[in-house]
Structures are given as structure tokens and as C-alpha cells.
Amino acid sequence: MPAGHRTGEGGPQAKRYRSVKKQVYFRGTQYELSEQESIDSDEVQTSDDEFRVDDLVLLQYNKRQKEIQEEISAEEKQRNQKFEEALSRTRYKTKSAFGRKQVFLCCSANDWIPIEMKTAFEMKLERAKGENLPSFLEQNKGKKLLSSQKVDNVMQFSNFVPPGKHFFYFIYDRKSIFVSPNHDIVRYKGTNVFLNQITVPPRCEPLA
């Protein structure tokens, strides 16, 4: 008996099917489903079939969402790792090489670029140890490197500046801003900002 023909009223029927690929969109994502579909004209897809398709789409959607979350987690983990590496490379800059909190000088003569100040004793150590300074500091880690001469433990910075008035202030531990009572404290150019000021006289005689 040929397929698709009935043997008689109420008798068994042979159905013919074909493989069909469908493009389905679910929540903005395209999915491809492969199904067996009847080619008989009197066959109509039932609501049960529709629910089955929805379940397959939802399953694929959840699977894809899980893969996306895993990719995001891997990328985020890699990004955090790179951030930690970059942070570890710059972490030493938030602390002096000598193990103390930093003090910076910001001066109008230097375009307000912060300059780390050092003591005379620290500068002597840098000149004396040279390339061996890091290993020397590692061996004396946790110790306060101070000179027996108190004057050598005063932080300082020296540079040539042109004649005229120069303004400056200090930064402690990258957090606190302060001025020195050992220099004039003036209002900066009519603003409400108070800074230290020094006046450098012109040089009238040649250097010896």
C-alpha cells in the first residue's frame, strides 16, 4: 500500500515526513532548529508541538547564556589579574624607597609638578651604594635609616630658580596638603588659597 494512503475507514495511516531547518528568534538571539515535519496536507502543527519548540529554544537560550557568563567571568578574571599586576608594579611608588611615608614639594617654578623630597642622609646613601642600594635597603628592611646628625635627617630639595617670587606647598603621604611655618604664608594671586612664598633676588655678581 503506498505511503500516505488510508487502508479503509478507521484503518492505520502511514505518514511521510521531511527534515526541516527553522530559524527562530528568541529574546533577540537567532537559533536554528532541525525538526521532522509531516508533508501530508491534512497535518497541522498542534499546540503541543509549539510548546516543544519553545522548550527547545529556551534550552538553547539558557545554554548560550551560561556560555556567555563563563566567557565574561574568564575575561573579567583575566582583566582583574592584569589590573593586580599593574597595581603591584606601581605599589612601591606610594611609599618611599627608604620605607617611610613620602613628602612632595609642589612649586610654581617647576610648573607645580610634585617632587619627592629626601633627606641629606638618604642622598648620601644613594651616592655611596649606587646600584647596590636596593639590596642594602632589603637587608635593612624595617629599620629606620637615620643619621646621627639631626640636620642630615631634614627633608630637602634644591634646584636653580629664576629671580622673583615663587610659591610652593607640600604633600604628605599623597593625602594631606600643608605649608611650612618657616616661610612666608601668603594669599595666592587674590584667591582663597594660601601658599608659602619665597623671593629670589637677582644675581648681581658673577659666580666665583
pLDDT at 86: 67
Tell whether the model's pLDDT for residue 89 goes beyond 70.
Answer: no
- Vertex 97 angle, CA 92 and 98, to 5°: 135
pLDDT at 178: 93
Tell whether the model's pLDDT for residue 8 goes beyond 60.
Answer: no
Average pLDDT over residues 28-55: 58
The model's confidence at residue 170, banded by pLDDT at 50, 70 and 90, is very high
Domain boundaries, the chain: 17-91, 103-139+151-200
* Among candidate residues 29, 97, 100, the one with its CA nearest the CA of residue 67: 29
Topology at the third CATH level for domain 103-139+151-200: Immunoglobulin-like (2.60.40)
The C-alpha cell that represents 129 in the structure block: 651604594
pLDDT at 44: 46
The C-alpha cell that represents 10 in the structure block: 478507521
Q: What is the DSSP letter of 205?
A: S
Of residues 174 and 30, more confidence is placed in 174
Percent of the chain with pLDDT over 90: 20
Tell whether the model's pLDDT for residue 105 goes beyond 90.
Answer: yes
> For all residues of the chain together, what is the average pLDDT?
76
CA separation for the pair 88, 141 (Å, rounded): 18
pLDDT at 41: 46
pLDDT at 13: 56
pLDDT at 6: 45
Please state whether beta strands 164-172 and 176-178 pair in parallel, antiparallel, or not at all (unpaired).
antiparallel
